[in-house]
Structures are given as structure tokens and as C-alpha cells.
Amino acid sequence: MRQALGVAAPGPGILNQQVGIYFEAPLGHLVVDRPAVLYFIENAAISGLFAAVDNADRWVFYTGRPPDWDPAAGGLAAERCVELVRLAAGLPDLAVRVRSVLPWAMAAQTAQRFRAGRVFLAGDAAHLIPPVGGYGMNTGIQDAHNLAWKLAGVLAGWAGSSVLDTYEAERQPVAQFVTEQALLNMRQPGRPEQYASLGLALGVSYDSAAVVADGSTVPEIANPVTDYVPAARPGSRAPHAWLRRGGERVSAIDLFDTAFTLLAGTSGQPWRDAAVTASRDLGMPLAACTVGRGGELGDEDGTWAQLYGIGPDGAVLVRPDGHVAWRSAGSGAEPRAELIRVLRAVLGQARTRAAGDV
Ligand SMILES: Cc1cc2nc3c(=O)[nH]c(=O)nc-3n(C[C@H](O)[C@H](O)[C@H](O)COP(=O)(O)OP(=O)(O)OC[C@H]3O[C@@H](n4cnc5c(N)ncnc54)[C@H](O)[C@@H]3O)c2cc1C
């Protein structure tokens, strides 16, 4: 589809050809003292890695595609796969039952555009990321999370079509950065970032028309791949904090699933009320509540107010993909008018539909 649309995807492209052998064998007892997700194999006969499926009897062995791989004959014969698994395990008599054999290519490239008219590229269609670090699917799911509410808004009529352009503006640079990091992992075996990438996964921050900046500066992060510094700066992923709903303990991030959500401090009732009115006026899904002592949600240990960086009369608006759209540290002169202005900007409502829009 990407090629048919004429969208270029620069990058080194295919790096090497691999094969994955999915098999059953009783290997679990060998690693019972060191259970892991991946077991790297490097011996005189073969190199590759075992990926645990159940860490007992089911495994995938990944290795470079051997020279006798023959697409015309279905790839590799089952006996040959058994031989490769035995070489890797170092057990010449291991009982192996091959369940499937799939070729795949390790590649690195990122599409220059994530949108071509009515077509949106997401996941591996938009970016091929070497799996060295395990970033590919995370990045694809973030794409879908980013795009879904924008499409829903445009189709339902509460978002303007220009909001769809923010998908590429927000996701393309992230995919590009992630691909570069995976390439570095591949070229520098043992790089710590391969095994510790919380910053890469959770520290994603957007700067686009679907975010209203609040003038705060990007925090200094020594290593943005390994280190995740939670912050509710507009554009960043609204961080986790434990909150109280009645007798129940809830994570802040579980509040942001389906609608826009406005969280106001305990004296932020005007923001909360403005959100209820704005939701009705703009015909959009927008939940609102106050957080803190005496609020609709309790701030269990005060970390919410501190992490979200607002005072008791402030508010923060979070998008349905969990990213902060806007934040006001304190009260506003005209909360309703301000919130409507913010929402119209974030939803791209100022612009009219153009030809080629969804
Ligand atoms: C060995 C390996 C290990 C990996 N490890 C990790 C990891 O640890 N962590 C991580 O985050 N990511 C990992 N990844 C990457 C991850 O698997 C991919 O990024 C992810 O699967 C991409 O999802 P997708 O939905 O975009 O594409 P795909 O999973 O490729 O799904 C596309 C689907 O579309 C179907 N399809 C194609 N054409 C058509 C058509 N014309 N009509 C109908 N259906 C069609 C395909 O059959 C396929 O089912 C790994 C990848 C590999 C190869």
C-alpha cells in the first residue's frame, strides 16, 4: 500500500534475512533457575536466540536464514529445523516437534509521510524497526492510539479534518527516533538501551496543533531512552499517580481511555463546570472531575498535584490517547471561553473541510 501510494521510506532497508522455528521440546528444566524471555546462543556450530513461549515446552528459535533455505521447497525441511534446534541447545538427541517455520527480514526504514489523502499508515506499514530492543509493536500501538480518537472525532463531527494532519506530525518523528535507537542497539551489542527503554516507551512527547503549549520548557533528561521522567507538560503522556474513587484505588492513566478528560484541583470547580458545558456545546465526549482533598477523586499521597504541576485552582486536559493537551497552573478569568478556545484549537475546528479529507 505504501509503495502504491508513492510514499518513500528512507533508511538502510533490509539488514539481514532471518528464520523463526516454532517448536516443542522439553527445555524448561534447563533454565528453571534463570527464567527469561530470551536466551542468546553463541556456540561453535550456530548463533541465534531462543524465545520462550511458555518457558517449558514451547519455544521459537531465531537464527540467520541458512544458505540451504529454499522457498520453492517450502523453506527448510522439518529434519533440518530439528538439527538446527539441537545444535543450538547442544543436545544431539533432543526430542523436537516443529510446529511452524517462518522467514522474516530484519529491516530499518521509516515512511516519510504517514498520510496520503484518505490513507493513513500505521505500525509496520509505516516503520520497520529492527526488533533489537523490542520497540516495534509498542510504536505501532502508539500510532493506532494516536490516530483512533482523531478519526473518531472527524467521523462523528466533533473534530475538524485538520486534526488528522497532526497524526503524521506527532508520530513520524517518534518512529524515526525509535528506528535510529534500534539500529544503534543492533550495531552496538550489549548497549544498555536494548534492555532498558522506559524513556523511549513512555517519554514520548508531542509538539503539534493538537497540543496547546504552556510555556514550560522540556525537562533535561540525561538519557531519553533509558530514563523516564514523568511530567504533565502539554504533549507528554499524562503520568501515573494513585487516586481514590470511593473505596477503590485507581491509576490516573486508567481515567484516560475513551474520552477527553479534564482533571481540576480541589478549588478548580469553575474549570470542571466549564468542561461540562463545553462538552455539551461542542458535542464531544469530555469527562471532568476534581482531584484532591474533598474532590471527586482523592489524591492518595499528594503525588498527583505535584506530578501534574497545577495548583488547587488549576486544571489539566488529557486527550483520549493519554497525552496532555493543555494545562493551566491556576484559575482562569473566563474558564468556559478559554476551554472552548483550547478545545477548538486541539480539535482543529477552526478550519473547514478540504477536498480529499475524510
Ligand atoms: C522476531 C521479531 C521479534 C519482535 N519482537 C518484538 C518485541 O519484543 N516487542 C515489540 O514491541 N515488537 C516486536 N517485534 C515487532 C512486531 O512484531 C511488529 O512491529 C508488529 O507485529 C507490527 O504490527 P502490525 O499490525 O503493524 O503489522 P503485522 O503484525 O505485520 O500485521 C499485519 C497483518 O496484515 C495482514 N495482511 C497483509 N496484507 C494483507 C491484505 N492485503 N489483506 C488482509 N490482510 C493483510 C498480515 O497477514 C498481518 O497479519 C518483533 C518482530 C519480529 C519479526
136 lines ligand 1 (CB under 6 A): yes
Distance of CA 127 to the CA centre of its chain: 13
What rounded mean pLDDT belongs to the chain?
95
pLDDT, mean of residues 82-93: 97
Half-sphere exposure of 264 (CA within 13 A, CB side): 24
Q: Is residue 48 within 6 Å of ligand 1 at its C-beta? A: no
- Ligand 1 centre from 124 Cα, in Å? 6
Q: What is the DSSP string of 202-230?
A: H--B--STTS---SPPPPP-S-TTT----
Find the mean pLDDT for residues 254-278: 95
Give the pLDDT score at 56.
97
Say what the pLDDT of residue 352 is. 43
Q: What's the rounded Cα separation, in Å, for the pair 187 and 190?
A: 9
Determine the average pLDDT of the residues in 308-330.
97
Q: What is the model's pLDDT at position 353?
A: 42
Separation between Cα atoms, residue 326 and residue 262, nearest integer Å: 9
Q: Which atom of ligand 1 is nearest to the CA of 139?
A: 11
pLDDT of residue 303: 93
- Is the distance from the beta carbon of residue 49 to the nearest atom of ligand 1 less than 6 Å? no
Please tell me the distance between residue 260's alpha carbon and the centre of ligand 1 in angstroms.
29
Q: Mean pLDDT, to the nearest integer, of 236-259?
A: 94
Cell, residue 282: 461542542
Specify the 3-state DSSP secondary structure of 167: helix
The answer to pTM > 0.85 is yes
Question: What's the gap in Å between 38 CA and the centre of ligand 1?
Answer: 19
**Section 83-100 average pLDDT:** 97
Ligand 1 within 6 A of CB of 138: yes
d(CA 257, CA 207): 21
125 pLDDT higher than 90: yes
Evaluate: CB of 104 within 6 angstroms of ligand 1: yes
Instruction: Return the pLDDT at 286.
Output: 97
pLDDT digits 0-9 by tens, 160-213:
999 999 999 999 999 999 999 999 999 998 899 999 999 999 999 999 999 999
Read off the pLDDT of each residue in 125-143 and give the average, rounded to a whole number.
97
Ligand 1 atom closest to the Cα of residue 104 is 53
Q: Spell out where the chain has E strands.
A: 13-24, 38-42, 47-52, 58-64, 97-110, 115-116, 119-120, 127-128, 242-245, 248-251, 260-264, 286-290, 298-299, 315-318, 324-328
Selection from 82, 108, 124 nearest residue 12 by Cα: 108
Q: What is the mean pLDDT of residues 341-353?
A: 82
- pLDDT at residue 258, rounded to an integer: 85
pLDDT at 354: 44
Report yes or no: 331 and 274 within 8 Å, Cβ to Cβ: no
Tens of pLDDT, residue by residue over 98-111, are 999 999 999 999 99
Domains and their CATH numbers in the chain: 14-107 (3.30.9.10), 109-202 (3.50.50.60)
